[in-house]
Structure 1
Amino acid sequence: MKKKIIMLLSLFLTMPAIANTDREWNGIVLGFEPPSKGIFGDMLGIRPILSNNGFTFNSNYLSQTAYNMSGGYDKNKHVAYIDQFAVTFNQDLERWTGIPDARIEGNIVNRNHNDDLTIKRTQDYRVLNNDQTQESAGGGSITRLGWLTFARSFDDRRLTWRIGMMNKTQEFDQTIPCDFQLRTLCGGKSANSLTWSNWNIHTWGTTLSYKITPALTFKTGIMEQNNKATERSHAWSWSTSGSKGFLLPLEIETHTFVNGLPGAYNIGLLYTNAKQKDLYKDKSYKNTWFMYAGMNQQLTQHKNDPNRGLSVSVSGSYHDERSNFMNYVISTSLRYRGLFDIRPEDWLGFGISYTDFSSHYAKGQKNKNKALNITDYKNPLYSPVATNALNAELYYRFKLASWFELQPDLQYWHNPGGIKRTSDAFVLGLKTTITF
């Protein structure tokens, strides 16, 4: 256990000393591009009018398609398709109230189709899902409130306070973008705790972030752990019904420079006082913990263009395997923006992720088989025993217009779902993004 903790901590502790903090940090090559001009432009002057009154927003359409070329648990061919519409908005209140940096933030997501190739074809349906062919799949066809919060700043904008119905992605684990279609390569690893959710699921909470220096930020907060937050009845609910306890996140994030090139690094610890059930033993625990870390560093600059070049990211998480079916997850990826002079805004990406499954989860599966006296893997009641899994993805993203991106990808699944009896799979994917 100590070796694994040290391995995760090393992602952060071996990072370079903070330097050149007087320089302007540019994260475009790391995957953090500014909002693109939408297909409707200024919307006949409506958008500038709203902006002049402090209201800004971004809206987009996303679709993700996946096709099982070969292998997997179910080899019958299937084209799976999901899509979503999302609106994220910000209302500046400072001009009306005089409160420094005061604002209302919101996010609304409409998801459709819920056609997930992972559970239909790629992996054995009898084991828990550690990855997805389409990272935005899940939750059904539904419109949800992702977050609605009030925020303001103190101490010359060094301290930021946020409160309301919130989501962790507003504040935590923001060093790696979500550009791959595989879930394990999409962003950081904080969601692997299984105690809070990504993107379009809200719970009550409040957070504080403090800039110790312009480049170094400390983040913390108290958030609700509510297992009912993912249910349809909670899509717009203000209720705390179903709350099991509170989450206490702690994170340190830095934006720095290495050899004159920008990088982002973070390490986080998440504690919850909610009761957790052991996956093997007939017992529960009063609390649990979770660790995550990430780094995203630009390696090269293409000619003299700071917005083109190669970057590398590494992220990992280490879990309490008594109650979490994953022991640890590690991912690494390479991204290149503007590889070809003729297409300076296109992206090329390649990533690999490795999941080691919990020994308690494996023992629990074996116990179920023993209790039912089942040894035949083909029996629908048999509980397969997960060990480890390795997934990889290669994509190329075409920036066809300021408002339109097309991203084909090829995925490789080794031991899908951690089951060695499931044949390795190749999946062809296509991701489409339209900005309005």
Structure 2
Amino acid sequence: MEKMFKISLLGFIVCGSQLSLANDFWSDDRQWLLGDWGGERTQLESNGYKFIAAITSEAATNLDGGYNKNHTFENAAQLALGVNFDLNKIAGWENTTAALMLTKRDGNALTMSRIKDPRSSALGNNQEIYGRGKIWRLTQAWIKTESNDHKVQFKIGRMGMSEDFNASHCEFQNLLLCGGQLGKSIGSIWYNWPVSVWAANVKYQFSPDWTISTGVYEVNPDNAKAKSDSDGFNLDMNNVEGAMIPVELTWKPKLEFFNGLAGEYKLGALYSTAEAKDIKNAGEIHEGKYSFWLNAQQKLTQKENDAKRGLYVSVNAAFNDKATTTVESTQQLALWYKGAFDSRPNDTIGLGFANYVVNKRAREYQTAVNESRGYDHYQAFATDYIPVQHGELNVELNYSYQWSPAVMLRPNLQYVYQPAGVKEVDNAWVAGLTMRVNF
């Protein structure tokens, strides 16, 4: 089936390109690679149906360092097919929308094959699109409604957790620099795209600048299974272990706050009612676990009178329960400048720093296990040795070339300090290329 998917996808791209070549394929304002379907696409959207078809591809090659220094090239990709519904236009339901999204991931990760010690659990990843299995998934199937004054919003259905909580922009290929952070540090219970869970959430804008949000998300390990396509469409709740309850406070200050430049600041916390194993003491079980987070994004400068151009900064941090979580905390600092060159007003230059901090208690457990097996220092070849993990720092410099709204290319250079937190593994340099195509 995987081979058939690749062949079909290639044919789809080739045919689509041929159609597009006959319709201003090279136009820098082309919205979709396959065009407007003779005006039908715009008409459907005006009637309430917005179709989404997109491919994201992330390639990476190791330049220097890492656990395995043999040079190779790995590519990971995702196909996304979906529809957004404006139910006011379709059925007369005021202030109500819905979404349906299917995704298919494929490919391999350079981090797994070359950068980290294969005996270590992964921390970062040079290709954020990799993970959660090479299967089809039901990624979104939800309905959302708002009050007439738009102050209250209610959403229910199948969704990822970072759609509405701990959300962050993604201007990078490196995992921790892209999107919500909690899925990278407590991924056993917090599922980001493309995994969905049964959930409901509510948001209340209690003042022009402030919004409070909360929700209930199932904790169900079946949602993360990835052996076959049927796992990606499992809708039952037979093995639910508990509920994840997030709360988030969002502040969007008036433009006068920062010289007329937009910003958004979020403070959040969650509690999981599912039982959690102690990270150090085998057999000890905790009744639940918790995390806290901070997300902040601020535009710092503006290029003349163009509100889209200028320098942006984001600062993100997550802090996890030390009793039950291997990654104690993560920190991220990202800067990107959109429209640095007048001739390329939609291109972006990005520089980001992301750090994983491994829980000291997890490190003590790893050391104790190794000592019980007779190891008192790093073993390069022993299969039963557990590499002791500390922290991992990721740095990425990139340039996003926005060929058109339909096509984006992002060459990037990444540096990984202490891959998977293992001091004995050489720091690594990685070259990458992200491509996004909207069909």
- Asked whether the two chains share a fold, i.e. TM above 0.5, the reply is yes
Aligned to 1:17: none
Query: Alignment RMSD, CA only?
Result: 1.6
1:275-299 CA distance string (max 9 Å, x none): 0001211201001100111111111
Are 2:220 and 1:242 aligned? no
Deviations 1:173-225 (A, max 9, x none): 23x31121111111232323332111110111111011122332111011101
Aligned to 1:267: 267
Does 2:175 correspond to 1:183? Answer: yes
1:61-83 CA deviation, whole Å, 9 max, x = no partner? 11000000000011111101011
Report deviation, 1:96: 4.7
Aligned twin of 1:116: 109
Q: 1:163 aligns with which of 152, 156, 178?
A: 156
Question: Which blocks of at least 5 consecutive residues in structure 1 are unaligned?
Answer: 1-34
Equivalent pair of 2:186/2:327 in contact (CA under 8 Å):
no
How far 1:121 moved relative to its partner? 0.6
Q: Is the 8 A contact 1:275 1:286 kept in 2?
A: yes
Q: Measured at CA, do residues 400 and 48 of structure 1 come closer, stay the same or move farther in structure 2, by a change above 3 Å?
A: closer
Give the Cα–Cα distance (whole angstroms) in 2 for the partners of residues 318 and 301 of structure 1. 33
For 2:248, the aligned partner's letter is E
Match in the other structure for 2:407: 404
TM-score normalized with structure 2 length: 0.88
Which one is further off, 232-241 or 284-293? 232-241
CA positional deviation for 1:253: 1.5
Tell me the distance in 2 between the aligned counterparts of 1:36 and 1:255: 32
Percentage of identical aligned residues: 30
- Which structure 2 residue ranges, 5 or more long, are not aligned? 1-28
How far did 1:97 drift? 4.2
Match of 2:332 in 1: 331
What is the DSSP-based 3-state SS (H/G/I as helix, E as strand, rest coil) of the residue aligned with 1:345? coil
Q: Which residue of structure 2 lines up, in the alignment, with residue 12 of structure 1?
A: none
**Pair 1:418-2:417 in alignment:** no
- Which string of whole-angstrom CA distances, capped at 9 and with x for unpartnered residues, describes residues 221-257 of structure 1? 1110111211134301111132110000000112223
Question: d(CA) in 2 for partners of 1:36 and 1:254?
Answer: 35
**Shift in CA distance, 349/363, structure 1 to aligned 2, threshold 3 Å:** same
Q: Residue 16 of structure 2 corresponds to which residue in structure 1?
A: none
1:144 aligned partner, one-letter code: R
For 2:250 and 2:50, the matched residues in 1 are separated by 26
Structure-2 separation of matches of 1:298 and 1:102? 31
Q: Aligned partners of 2:208 and 2:100: how far apart in 1?
A: 26
SS of the residue corresponding to residue 151 of structure 1 reads strand
Bigger shift: residues 221-230 or 185-194: 185-194
Counterparts of 2:214 and 2:59 in 1: how far apart (Å)? 37
Question: Following the alignment from structure 2 to structure 1, what is the Cα–Cα distance between the partners of residues 295 and 349?
Answer: 20
Once the two structures are superposed, what CA deviation does each residue of 1:90-113 show, in whole Å capped at 9, x if it has no partner?
112224544331222122111112
Shift in Å, 1:155: 4.9
Match in the other structure for 2:10: none
CA distance in 2, matches of 1:90, 1:177: 21
2:103–2:137 CA contact under 8 A, matched in 1:
yes
Residue in structure 2 matched with residue 32 of structure 1 by the alignment:
none
Structure 2 CA distance for aligned equivalents of residues 363 and 182 of structure 1: 28
2:253 is aligned with 1:280: no
Partner of 2:233, secondary structure, is coil
CA contact under 8 A between 1:224 and 1:243: conserved in structure 2?
yes
Partner residue of 1:212 out of 206, 210, 225: 206
Q: Secondary structure at the match of 2:38?
A: coil
1:321 to partner: Cα distance = 2.0
* Residue 141 of structure 2 corresponds to residue 148 of structure 1: yes
AA of the residue aligned to 2:141: L
User: 1:169 and 1:58 mapped to 2: Cα distance?
Assistant: 20
Distance 1:411 1:419 in 2: 18
- Over 3 Å counting, the alpha-carbon distance change for 1:154 and 1:303 in structure 2 is closer
Distance 2:80 2:304 in 1: 36
User: What corresponds to 2:13 in structure 1?
Assistant: none
Corresponding position of 1:11:
none
| Partner in structure 1 of residue 43 of structure 2 | 49
Aligned to 1:229, what secondary structure does the other structure show? Answer: helix
Aligned-pair CA distance for 1:36: 7.6
CA contact (8 A) 1:189 1:293 kept: no
Secondary structure of 1:41 counterpart: coil
Larger RCO (CA within 8 A; separation ≥ 6): 1
| Mapping of residues 23-172 of structure 1, within 5 Å | 37-113=31-107, 115-172=108-165
Residue 20 of structure 1 corresponds to none
Against the structure 1 CA distance between its residues 76 and 185, is the aligned structure 2 distance closer, same or farther, given a 3 Å change threshold?
same
- 1:393 Cα deviation from its structure 2 partner: 0.3
Distance 1:334 1:285, change over 3 A: same
Distance 1:106 1:373 in 2: 53
Q: Distance in 1 between matches of 2:164 and 2:173?
A: 22
1:136-163 deviation digits (Å, cap 9, x = unpaired): 1012321111010122112522111111
User: Taking structure 1 as the reference length, what is the TM-score of the superposition?
Assistant: 0.88
Which amino acid in the other structure matches residue 64 of structure 1? Answer: E
- Whether 1:377 aligns to 2:379 is yes
Paired residues in the alignment total 400
Query: Equivalent residue for 2:352?
Result: 351
CA distance in structure 2 between the partners assigned to 1:402 and 1:223 by the alignment = 34
Letter in 1 for 2:379: Y
State how far apart, in whole Å, the 1-side matches of 2:216 and 2:147 are.
Answer: 19
Cα displacement string for residues 367-391 of structure 1 (whole angstroms, at most 9, x for unaligned residues): 2212222345121211111111211
Q: Give the counterpart letter for 1:274 in structure 2.
A: A
Instruction: Give the conservation status (yes or no) of the 8 Å contact 1:110–1:144.
Output: yes
